[in-house]
Structure 1
Amino acid sequence: MAKVAFEVDDVRIPVIDLDDFPAQLDKLIRACVEWGCFRILNHKIPATLLSDMKLVVRSLFDLPKEIKRRNGDAIDGSGYRAPSEDNPLYEAFGLYDIASSEAVDAFCTQLGTPPQKREIIKCYSNAIYELAMDIGRKVAEGSGVRCDPIKGWACQFRINRYNFTQETVGSSGVCMHTDSGFLTILQEDECIGGLEVMDKSGAFVAVDPLPGSLLVNLGDIATAWSNGRFHNVKHRVQCKEAAIRISIAMFVLGPKDEAVEAPQEFVDPQHPRLYAPFTYLHYRKLRLSTGLRAGEALQLVHQIASTTS
């Protein structure tokens, strides 16, 4: 993939050039602390693979409803989501554990995906997973943490379609929320905007498409892992025009079995440990059971830490 260069002075979201490391380590960590999101350029995923994956995704949403519903949950809330009362314009597929070739094959088999499309899904899964691991290593290095923090963690696709019409312009595509996991890499719709992130003042900032880039959001697990240092960005999708909007989100969720716990590098007398150790699946169930999906569930874990300290 050729090196990409953009004029980004008018873009408020931080932009990180992956070809400029370690020079951009400080900028990366500032983006994690101040915004909880950033764009990445020169990520090395071929443009042809990105566009091919979008075509495959569009074909999946054209499947009959009875086939779509075969995409069942591997963990709570990880499978197909039909339009609902809360999010009537939105539907999505889920693929849990994208680093597992067996899980990717099972997803493709559920939906009757032909060999050529199956191969594209596998290639995309491998490429986006390796990119996520690289970002995780850079975040650790910039934080002074001597480990590979997210190696072996569970990862999931959430493949989204927003069915926007003229009558729904100005309404919500997906309500405000934070992501539950560590980080999300989003391939946005290259033509249709609508994503908005909340800055620390509480104002929503439009995230317009920037061709050739990918967007990274930090979630609740990143806040807990960093002992409250990293910002779990609130975001939503608004209907801006009558069109079908497609996006592909890859989530690094959390450890499969071990507890989430801030490394010692984030803890000192001035920064005491904020969160009791907890597993990702426990936290996911907590968010689902309480309906607290905009970061508030972290306060419950914080309260546990306070009462046990």
Structure 2
Amino acid sequence: MKAVETGNGVRVLKGGGLDPQRISFDSIPIIDLEPMFSGDAEAKARLAAELRKACTEVGFLYIKNHHVPKAVIDETFAVAESYFSLPDDVKMANHVSKSKNNRGYAAMLEENTDPTGRGDLHQSFDIALDVPADDPDVLAGKVLYGPNQWPEGQPAFRAALETYHREMLTLSGRLLHAFALALGLDETYFDGMVDKPLATLRVLHYPPQFGEIDDRQIGIGAHSDYECFTILAQKEGISALQVLNASGEWIAADPIPGCFVVNIGDQMARWTNDLFASTVHRAINRSGKERYSIPFFFGPNYDTVVEALPSCVDEDHPAKYEPVTSGDYVNGRFAATFAHYAEAQKREAGTA
């Protein structure tokens, strides 16, 4: 059996091989988010119950009626495809190593999400909340805050990603309200913890893999996400995402028109004392086509202390994890995943 090291401990994978089990999409629930926009209390309560069931039993779900315009999603896919087709030297001008806060371009094999792997077969471009260099939090050395870097002569790329990021912040607020209700909390419980969130938008390009594949080098290795939750857009018709279920089997999470995929991250698992499952997943692009995806990683403010919520602990269920600030947790996971980020942190600390 293979084990995967995550920020919340080791997960054991039951089966080997690269093929997911193909079963009905009913196994990954579809949640209608419309009640979070309509304001109907009874409908919100029903949604909260469905969301709680999905998060405790699966950890992955689809959301529909999310109110993000299709045109915004389509434009972001279009500019991503155009950007990743640029020559390597043009993209490397904005390499993440030139950013103190992990923003910009990363080439093939530079990320290694699974510590047992040999590098991930994708290239990426990251932005996050755009915080000026003279902001007090940036000056205080909170390295996940800071300005984005952008490729020169690509105004459409910047405009599309900034628009998409704004849409995701709005959607994340609605979704976090739903999570609060699902946990038996006041709808606005988390609001004061996410007014300056660690919210990263990434566009990804996965080339197709053919023939015999080394499971140590796939599109993105088995991992769990670091933040509270991830909202993922996938291009229709291209299968790659696989989710590890409670039985240790890989389940396909193919695109569904009009839906985002949402998965629970490690910080939400810590908040809920593992009541909500932070689910291991991976991507293997054997579609024969280029694959593009757009994940948005949403987490609380840098200094927010992530510890078990009062509604998730009792005498029989003591807190499993030590409290940790959001910034310290994500910093540690980035250092474990990105070699360039770990080296930059060492240089900043004077230990390199």
Fold shared per TM-score above 0.5? yes
Which of these residues, 244, 251, 267, is aligned with residue 205 of structure 1? 251
Bigger relative contact order, structure 1 or 2 (CA pairs below 8 A, ≥6 apart): 2
In the TM superposition, what is the alpha-carbon distance from 1:167 to its structure 2 partner?
4.2
Name the SS of the counterpart of 2:297 in structure 1: strand
User: What per-residue deviation string (whole Å, max 9, x for no partner) do you get for residues 30-63 of structure 1?
Assistant: 1111111100001111111111111011112122
- Deviation, 1:75, is 5.5
RMSD of aligned residue pairs (Cα, Å) = 2.8
Structure 2 gaps, min length 5: 1-23, 36-42, 111-117, 136-143, 338-352
Aligned partner of 1:52 in structure 2 is: 75
For residue 27 of structure 1, the aligned residue among 32, 50, 54 is 50
**Correspondence list, 1:1-309, <5 A:** 10-20=25-35, 21-22=43-44, 23-69=46-92, 70-72=94-96, 74=99, 77-84=102-109, 86-87=118-119, 89-97=121-129, 107=148, 110-146=150-186, 147-148=189-190, 151-152=194-195, 153-167=197-211, 172-288=218-334
Matched letter for residue 162 of structure 1: Y
C-alpha contact 1:93 1:159 (8 A) present in aligned 2: yes
Cα 1:59–1:180 shift into 2, 3 Å = same
Structure 1 residues 185-221: Cα deviation after superposition (integer angstroms, max 9, x where no partner): 0001212111000111111100111111000011111
Normalising by structure 2, we get a TM-score of 0.72
1:155–1:189 CA distance, 2 compared to 1 (3 A): same
Q: Is the 8 A contact 2:80 2:157 kept in 1?
A: no
Q: Deviations over 1:283-309 (max 9, x none)?
A: 234335556xxxxxxxxxxxxxxxxxx
Q: Give the letter for the 1:214 counterpart.
A: F
Question: Shift in Å at residue 123 of structure 1?
Answer: 1.9
Q: Indicate conservation of the 8 Å contact 2:105/2:124, yes or no.
A: yes
What is the rounded CA distance, in whole Å, between the counterparts of 1:99 and 1:167 in structure 2? 45
Distance 1:128 1:225 in 2: 22
CA spacing shift, 1:174–1:115, aligned 2, 3 Å: closer
Structure-2 change in CA distance of 1:78 and 1:182 (3 Å): farther
Letter in 2 for 1:191: G
Q: Taking structure 1 as reference, are residues 157 and 99 closer, same or farther at Cα in structure 2, changes over 3 Å only?
A: farther
SS of residue paired to 2:330: helix
Report the Cα distance in structure 1 between the residues aligned to 2:75 and 2:207, rounded to whole angstroms. 21
Equivalent in the alignment of 1:5: none
C-alpha distance in 2, partners of 1:223/1:168? 35
Instruction: Answer yes or no: is the 8 Å Cα contact 2:104–2:150 preserved in 1.
Output: no
CA displacement at 1:227 relative to structure 2: 1.5
**If the length of structure 1 is used for normalisation, what is the TM-score?**
0.82
Q: After TM superposition, where is structure 1 displaced by more than 6 Å over at least 4 residues in a row?
A: none
Cα distance, 1:82 vs structure 2: 1.0
Q: Residue 284 of structure 2 aligns to which amino acid in structure 1?
A: Q
Query: Match of 1:298?
Result: none
| Structure 1 position 11, deviation (Å) | 3.1
Secondary structure at the residue paired with 1:249?
Answer: strand
What is the percent sequence identity of the aligned residues?
Answer: 28
1:274 is displaced (CA, Å) by 1.9
2:164, 2:333 → 1: CA distance? 29
The AA in structure 2 aligned to 1:43 is: H
The equivalent residue for 2:349 is: none
